[in-house]
């Protein structure tokens, strides 16, 4: 097993790549997870079905999960996603065999310990691999790096939303089988392998805008492939229950010229069309003319989607905004402010009873057993 040693500290200023190489004309990047608690079996199914995948990204981190990991670490627990062992046990054999690199932000507040856990899992499986880490560290006022025995992102649980640059640096230096990060902007997790493989540079703003569009579309997993399209009585979103059961996670084909096609596995359930792409495009977007990422500020107003088949959509029109380079990076600072819990699902209007019954079907079967839990258990046992 090869653990990459901690050797370099870089500031957040992005420096031009020196003579970047174009390693591929096209790169294939899949989304294996879109949120913390997503389904490992869905990622494995994507790997099984799409043999050309060069990278699979496990995006399992958000503001809530970061705060949870900080709280757990402060109490003596794990600062990384505690499900990482389960994910790696399931995915590593096939990913390493196929040469598919896994990129994940499961490192959360303690990516170095996550690296050790992945190496431990790989050793138990008899797999030899390289695991690299790209993460934030605290630098004191004198400018020297603070490198305690057990590294954390920053003092007090502060996390900065990093861009694609540290991931690209790791890919260039180590060419790892697995790359673990701390908090990185979601789209940047996908943009990084594009920059690395396709020979893009940090001033190729048109390409970075298109790449960030691809990352934004992929980052939430099955939201792109019909996860929100089971609405009885809505002819435009009337996905059947059997089709929803076989929902495919999405992946993308990105060319060196910036042409992007988002895709789902051939023959899979779900749906990929103009509607699902448009819905995801607008997700978590405040100003469509200035979607801010650490790598480029993107103008989405000219984006169009052209379905090429039932499983493939061409995505064009993302441009750098009028002010394309962000002047600040976003930080998350956890604070103790008590807690609040609230849950409610309400249905009203036309055919509301049908929609409510569909929701009940998704959550429980007639015996009061969650079908999600049952299906996952069945699939896990069936696949060994």
The reported pLDDT for the residue numbered 136 is 84
The neighbour count for residue 119, using CB atoms within 10 Å, is 19
Q: Which residues of the chain have pLDDT under 70?
A: 1-7, 138-155, 364-384
**Which pLDDT score is estimated for 199?**
98
* Total-model pTM: 0.89
pLDDT value at position 346?
84
Q: String of b and e for 295-333 (b: at least 16 CB within 10 Å)? A: bbbbbbeebebeeeeebbbebeebbbbeebebeeeeebe
Residue of 157, 149, 58 whose CA lies nearest to 109 = 157
pLDDT at 150: 46
At 178, is the secondary structure helix, strand, or coil?
strand
Tell me what pLDDT residue 378 has: 42
Return the pLDDT at 333: 87
Phi, psi (deg, nearest 5) at residue 118: -65, -40
C-alpha distances in Å from residue 255, one per residue of 21, 281, 303: 14, 20, 17
pLDDT at 3: 53
Q: What is the pLDDT of residue 376?
A: 47
Report the pLDDT value the prediction gives residue 255, as an integer from 0 to 100. 98
Domain limits of the chain? 22-332, 352-383
């Amino acid at each position: 097993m090869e653990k990459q040693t901690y050797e370099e500290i870089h500031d957040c200023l992005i420096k031009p790549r020196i003579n970047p190489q174009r390693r591929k004309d096209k790169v294939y990047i899949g989304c294996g997870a879109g949120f913390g608690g997503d389904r490992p079996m869905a990622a494995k199914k994507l790997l099984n079905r799409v043999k050309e995948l060069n990278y699979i990204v496990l995006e399992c981190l958000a503001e809530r999960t970061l705060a949870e990991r900080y709280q757990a670490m402060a109490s003596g627990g794990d600062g990384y996603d505690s499900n990482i062992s389960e994910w790696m046990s399931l995915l590593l054999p096939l990913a390493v065999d196929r040469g598919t690199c896994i990129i994940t932000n499961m490192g959360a507040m303690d990516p170095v310990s996550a690296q050790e856990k992945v190496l431990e899992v790989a050793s138990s499986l008899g797999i030899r691999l390289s695991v690299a880490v790209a993460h934030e560290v605290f630098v004191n006022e004198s400018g020297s790096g603070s490198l305690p025995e057990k590294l954390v992102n920053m003092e007090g649980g502060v996390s900065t939303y990093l861009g694609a640059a540290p991931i690209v640096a790791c890919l260039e230096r180590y060419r790892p089988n697995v790359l673990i990060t701390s908090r990185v902007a979601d789209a940047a997790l996908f943009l990084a392998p594009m920059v690395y493989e396709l020979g893009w540079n940090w001033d190729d703003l048109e390409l970075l805008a298109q790449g960030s569009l691809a990352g934004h579309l992929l980052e939430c997993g099955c939201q792109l492939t019909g996860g929100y399209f089971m609405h009885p009585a809505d002819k435009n979103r009337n996905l059947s229950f059997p089709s929803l059961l076989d929902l495919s996670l999405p992946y993308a084909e990105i060319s060196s010229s910036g042409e992007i096609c988002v895709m789902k596995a051939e023959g899979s359930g779900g749906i990929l069309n103009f509607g699902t792409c448009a819905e995801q495009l607008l997700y978590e977007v405040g100003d469509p003319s200035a979607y801010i990422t650490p790598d480029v500020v993107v103008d989405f107003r000219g984006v169009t989607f052209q379905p090429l088949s039932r499983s493939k959509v061409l995505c064009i029109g993302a441009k750098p905004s009028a002010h394309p380079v962000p002047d600040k990076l976003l930080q998350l600072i956890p604070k103790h402010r008590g807690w609040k819990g609230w849950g409610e699902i309400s249905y009203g209007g036309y055919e509301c009873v049908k929609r409510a019954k569909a929701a009940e079907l998704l959550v429980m079967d007639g015996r009061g057993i969650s079908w999600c839990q049952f299906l996952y258990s069945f699939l896990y046992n069936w696949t060994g």
